[in-house]
Amino acid sequence: MRPEDLSILVCPSCHGGLRYDGAFAGQELDEGELVCASCRRHWAVLDGMPHLFDEAAVRGLDWLSRLSYDAMAPLHDLAVRFLLPILQLEGASREHYMSRVDLGSLQPRDDGQPVRVLEVGVGAGANLPLIERDLPSGLEAEIWGLDLSTGMMAQCRRRLTSDQDRRVRLLLADAHALPFDAATFDRVFHVGGIAAYRDPRRGLAEMARVARPGTPIVVVDEQLDPSRSHWWHQRLMFRLMALTGALPESPVALLPESASHVLNEQTTRFYYCLTFRMPAPRARPVASTRKGKRSSVSRVSTPG
């Protein structure tokens, strides 16, 4: 990550701006800390990786999930190769949710900024080649990925190609407190973890907050298809997949109230794909007085 990338990062506690205080490896951040200009909190940067999350807030299912992913990180690629086809998250399922992310329709931004894609819970980076494949040729784009697991992030960094390394930005962060300004990303998606969030409603609200108005926000995770019958071994397999006490299901009821274009699909026996968008903030009338006369002035409210 380079110093210019800090322009879209904010303090996860107060959303204040951040400055880097530390050493560099060439043009990249190396060892140091990010200091919030507002609340003065310090966030570590270790081996070039910002650690923008509050460790005290990682508890319950989040803590257990991170522990599990850290332990399985060295075997992750083997699990993807042999286990996920059995669970039906490979092939057609991946193609389905990538079609909902709809990277192919992205156009250059009017403000001159690069197009930005965010994967919340990037894991070992299995979706990065699909993102690269689907981005329009020649489009200036940045791919941002975050995760809570240091083990999975290490796997992700190792698998980056030189071309990906030039436009992929990785950081450790908590999905419940995304360290970005509102309306930053042109695409936002998450695959395979929200059922284990300590507060899925808040996680969805954060994805909605950092997405630009109108962009598709795509969430994929486990749900036993309610429209099909299932053999006992299929139910057992699904039960073993679930970290929570209750069987996981699509969090469509937890979406922000203003969410629109909601599409809740069952893509395989074990997985759903939930897509939604957030509208642009509505203008609010503000009363003002000038020369003794009362008039109405429109002001655009700040997203989030």
**Burial (CB count <10 Å: 0-12, 13-18, 19+), residue 237:** middle
> 104-138 burial, b for 16+ CB within 10 Å, e for fewer?
eebeeeeeeeebbbbbbbbbbbbbbeebbebbeee
Distance between CA atoms of 135 and 282, rounded to whole angstroms? 30
Q: For the beta carbon of residue 89, count every other beta carbon within 10 angstroms.
A: 23
Each residue of 277-299: pLDDT tens digit? 999 877 665 554 444 433 333 32
The structural domains of the chain, ordered by start, are 1-48 (no CATH), 53-283 (3.40.50.150)
Predicted TM-score (pTM) of this structure: 0.86
Q: pLDDT tens track of the chain, all 304 residues?
A: 999 999 999 999 999 999 999 999 999 999 999 999 999 999 999 999 999 999 999 998 888 888 888 887 766 555 555 455 555 555 678 899 999 999 999 999 999 999 999 999 999 999 999 999 999 999 999 999 999 999 999 999 988 876 666 789 999 999 999 999 999 999 999 998 899 899 999 999 999 999 999 999 999 998 888 888 877 776 777 666 665 556 789 999 999 999 999 999 999 888 999 999 999 877 665 554 444 433 333 323 333 3
